[in-house]
């Protein structure tokens, strides 16, 4: 049997009474303990260092994270180079969150990879799907990206949008639910 972390990332239904769920709880408890240290950071280098400790890999020096920053798990976050994450973002990452290079994340953005079944008898279980934000995408203030969504290269998600479906490259999406409102032309400079 695959371990619980592989099952979560594979999108399998994992019940909270799963015999391996204590392993998830251990990571969550560690992240909860480290989060106040991250959010007490007094400079960008300290914030980058503390978030690196939470996610278990070093963030590149070109990446900026403004605190406060919230995550319930942290170990399945992968952040590229020249990424900017503004204040008060929340990353629920048990399904995996990848931010490629040059991604911009506005304030109060929610990236949510975790869900629950609709059936009341199964609702205490977890269903996770990854979020991928491709290079040079920009997620506007207060937007929410839901489980399983890929945001294409150079795409823009307007402030306040709720994105439940994949977003193609080079478009702007807006609204609830988010829909394509504009295509983005290529720079010729």
Distances in whole angstroms, Cα of residue 78 to Cα of each of 54, 58, 141 = 11, 10, 21
Dump pLDDT digits (tens) for 111-150: 999 999 999 999 999 999 999 999 999 999 999 999 999 9
Edge to edge, the sheet with strand 162-163 lists: 69-71, 89-92, 110-112, 144-145, 162-163
pLDDT at residue 185, rounded to an integer: 83
Rounded (10°) angle between helices 44-55 and 21-39: 170
**Active-site choice (29, 116, 186, 188):** 116
SS3 19: coil
Rounded to whole angstroms, the Cα distance separating 120 from 56 reads 35
Per the rule left: phi > 0, alpha: psi between -120 and 50, beta: everything else, 55 is alpha
Rounded to whole angstroms, the Cα distance separating 161 from 78 reads 23
pLDDT at residue 53, rounded to an integer: 97
pLDDT at residue 94, rounded to an integer: 96
Least Cα distance to 106 among 145, 73, 55 occurs for: 145
CB contact at 8 A, 169 and 134: yes
Q: Mean per-residue pLDDT for 50-77? A: 97
- State yes or no: is 82 an active-site residue: no
Work out the percent of the chain whose per-residue pLDDT is above 70.
97
Cis omega before residue 163 (within 30°)? no
Residue 106 has pLDDT above 50, yes or no: yes
Average pLDDT, the chain: 96
pLDDT at residue 189, rounded to an integer: 44
Q: What is the dihedral of CA 5, 139, 141, 10, to 10 degrees?
A: -20
């Amino acid at each position: 049997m695959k371990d619980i972390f592989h099952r979560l990332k594979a999108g399998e239904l994992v019940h909270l009474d799963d015999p391996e769920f204590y392993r998830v709880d251990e990571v969550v408890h560690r992240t909860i303990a480290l989060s106040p240290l991250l959010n007490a950071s007094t400079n960008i280098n300290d914030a980058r260092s503390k978030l690196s400790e939470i996610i278990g890999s070093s963030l590149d020096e070109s990446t900026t994270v403004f605190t406060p920053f919230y995550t319930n798990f942290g170990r399945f976050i992968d952040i590229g180079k020249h990424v900017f994450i503004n204040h008060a973002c929340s990353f629920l990452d048990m399904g995996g969150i990848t931010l490629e290079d040059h991604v911009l994340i506005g304030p109060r953005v929610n990236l949510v990879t975790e869900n629950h079944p609709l059936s009341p008898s199964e609702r205490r279980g977890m269903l996770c799907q990854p979020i991928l934000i491709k290079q040079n995408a920009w997620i506007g203030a207060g937007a929410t990206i839901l489980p399983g969504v890929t945001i294409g290269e150079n795409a823009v998600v307007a402030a306040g949008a709720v994105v439940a479906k994949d977003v193609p490259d080079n478009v702007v999406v807006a609204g609830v639910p988010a829909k394509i409102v504009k295509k983005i032309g290529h720079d010729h400079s």
